[in-house]
């Protein structure tokens, strides 16, 4: 895979925007956190210097809960580590300044309650081995593996591949999802110590549940409105597409099908759950349509804003801004609130053989 495609991929909306608008992701993490607690409680630390890796931290706020849980678990043991490294990783374009500031200042930061904890950050794609071999005790990863390492192509007729009618392109997306999953597993396996464990949470599909189609379809209809008002060009419309995809249970299990072990990683547990929609829940109580629309639109801006901004910046004579799109999208959602029914996969893995 060409390295440039990994480096060029934009991260989340910067200046701390993702931290302020990621309650959806936070709610999903909270729903699955008991599995993480079980995982960290069963980790057998083999040295007095423990290493926790947080893959795709973004600006870090949603990492605080899992990291605090890991620290509480390993620091409550009779034989405590002397020092603990917490390594946050993300793409080079990530807003690491917000991450470092948040770690220093946030009331819930793991630095507030513990001594001898040392945060680090790595700005490289996790589709490469980015940490020393056999060095990580515990790995956490949430809400990132839907992003592909490279876009298989523009989705001309939508923003989201599941809603496209282009069956060839859909196959290319599915293929890339499989390649990336296997590559992610190989790289994490290199980095984990033998006996070390990794939990990853990412969006998934279930046959019986709605999925992200209806949500991104509202976004697409917003873009079409802007096109009809001559604020977006046909070219801009065709270039705005998300390099993301959703895996099914079968696709997640696939590398493990033969022996339950892939790349020295044993599949300990795989769950797919219905994920929460905190904005809908809030709307049920307040009946405040405007806030509902803003919250969902800001979530979309936090994750998709940089992809859209790239298109608009590179387009000649653009008449539209990201803010125009998000404002229209919020209005659209406010006019017809609905529950976004979506699913999350959670995968627990243990490294079973030392990397030689």
Ligand X SMILES: C[S@@+](CC[C@H](N)C(=O)[O-])C[C@H]1O[C@@H](n2cnc3c(N)ncnc32)[C@H](O)[C@@H]1O
Question: For binding to ligand X (CB under 6 A), which residues are involved?
Answer: 6, 11-12, 22, 25, 29, 56-58, 62, 90-91, 94, 125-127, 142-144, 147, 149, 303
Least Å from the CB of residue 316 to ligand X: 28
Least Å from the CB of residue 169 to ligand X: 20
Distance CA 124, CA 127 (A): 9
Least Å from the CB of residue 220 to ligand X: 20
DSSP string over 127-176: TS--S-TT-EEEEEEES-TTB-SS-----TT-SSGGG---HHHHHHHHHH
Structure tokens at 199: 């939990």
Q: Quick one: 45 or 71, whose CB is closer to ligand X?
A: 71
Q: Rounded to 5 degrees, what angle do the CA atoms 165, 170, 173 make? A: 150
**Which residue in this structure is represented by tokens 């196959």?**
171
Please give the helix or strand (H or E) that residue 89 lies within, else none: strand 83-90
Would you give the end-to-end CA distance of the chain in angstroms? Answer: 24
Q: Quick one: 28 or 81, whose CB is closer to ligand X?
A: 28
Contact 202, 181 (CB under 8 A): no
Q: Quick one: 5 or 154, whose CB is closer to ligand X?
A: 5
DSSP assignment letter at 85: E
Least Å from the CB of residue 124 to ligand X: 7
| Bridge partners for 350 per DSSP | 197, 266
φ and ψ of 348, to 5 deg: -115, 130
Q: Quick one: 81 or 219, whose CB is closer to ligand X?
A: 219
Least Å from the CB of residue 128 to ligand X: 9
Least Å from the CB of residue 251 to ligand X: 18
**Which residue in this structure is represented by tokens 């490279």?**
150
Q: Quick one: 334 or 346, whose CB is closer to ligand X?
A: 346
Q: Quick one: 12 or 320, whose CB is closer to ligand X?
A: 12
């Amino acid at each position: 895979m060409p390295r440039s495609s990994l480096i060029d991929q934009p991260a989340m909306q910067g200046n701390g925007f993702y931290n302020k608008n990621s309650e959806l992701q936070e709610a999903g993490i909270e729903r699955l956190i008991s599995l993480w607690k079980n995982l960290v409680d069963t980790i057998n630390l083999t040295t007095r210097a423990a290493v926790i890796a947080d893959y795709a931290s973004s600006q870090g706020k949603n990492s605080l809960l899992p990291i605090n849980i890991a620290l509480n678990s390993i620091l409550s043991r009779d034989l405590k580590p002397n020092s603990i490294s917490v390594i946050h990783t993300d793409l080079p374009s990530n807003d690491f300044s917000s991450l470092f500031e948040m770690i220093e200042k946030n009331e819930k930061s793991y630095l507030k309650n513990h001594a001898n904890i040392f945060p680090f950050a790595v700005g490289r794609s996790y589709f490469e081995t980015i940490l020393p071999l056999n060095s990580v005790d515990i790995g956490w990863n949430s809400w990132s593996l839907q992003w592909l390492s490279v876009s298989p192509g523009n989705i001309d007729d939508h923003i989201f591949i599941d809603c496209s009618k282009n069956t060839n392109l859909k196959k290319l997306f599915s293929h890339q999802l499989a390649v990336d999953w296997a590559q992610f597993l190989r790289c994490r396996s290199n980095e984990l110590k033998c006996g070390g464990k990794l939990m990853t949470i990412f969006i998934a599909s279930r046959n019986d549940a709605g999925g992200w189609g209806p949500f991104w379809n509202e976004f697409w209809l917003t873009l079409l409105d802007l096109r009809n008002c001559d604020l977006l060009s046909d070219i801009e419309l065709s270039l705005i597409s998300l390099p993301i995809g959703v895996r099914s249970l079968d696709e997640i299990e696939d590398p493990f099908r033969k022996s339950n072990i892939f790349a020295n990683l044993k599949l300990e547990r795989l769950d797919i759950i219905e994920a929460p929609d905190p904005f809908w829940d809030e709307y049920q109580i307040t009946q405040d349509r405007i806030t509902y629309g803003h919250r969902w639109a800001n979530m979309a801006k936090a994750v998709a804003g940089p992809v859209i901004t790239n298109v608009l910046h590179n387009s000649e004579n653009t008449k539209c801004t990201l803010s125009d799109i998000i404002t229209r999208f919020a209005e659209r959602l406010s006019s017809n609130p609905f529950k976004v029914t979506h699913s999350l996969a959670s995968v627990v893995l243990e490294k079973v053989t030392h990397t030689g």
